[in-house]
Amino acid sequence: MLLFQIDPHSGVPVYRQVMDQVRYHLAAGTLAPGRQLPSIRELARSLAVNPATIVKAYSELAHLNIIEIRHGRGAFIHPDPPVMPADERRARLRQLTNQLVVEARQLGAGEKEIRDALEQTLNEINPEPPET
Partner DNA sequence: ACCGGTGTATTACAACACTAATACAGTGGC
Partner DNA sequence: GCCACTGTATTAGTGTTGTAATACACCGGT
Residues that bind its own copies (CB under 8 A): 20, 23-24, 26-27, 66, 81, 83-84, 89-90, 92-94, 96-111, 113-115, 117-118, 120-122, 125, 127
Q: Is 25 in the site for DNA (CB under 7 A)?
A: no
67, β-bridge pairs: 77
Three-class secondary structure of residue 81 per DSSP: coil
CA–CA dist 23, 77 (Å, integer)? 10
Buried b (16+ CB within 10 A) or exposed e, 29-54: eebeeeeebbebeebbeebebeeebb
* Residue 50 site contact among DNA, its own copies, none (CB < 5 to 8 Å, cut-off depends on kind): DNA
Q: Is 66 in the site for DNA (CB under 7 A)?
A: no
Closer by beta carbon to its own copies, 72 or else 82? 82
Least CB distance to its own copies at residue 58 (A)? 16
Least CB distance to its own copies at residue 95 (A)? 9
CA–CA dist 96, 99 (Å, integer)? 5
Q: Is 21 in the site for DNA (CB under 7 A)?
A: no
Helix 14-28 vs helix 51-63: angle between axes, to the nearest 10 degrees?
50
**Footprint on this chain of DNA (rule: CB under 7 A):** 13-16, 37, 39-42, 49-53, 55-56, 58-59, 69-75
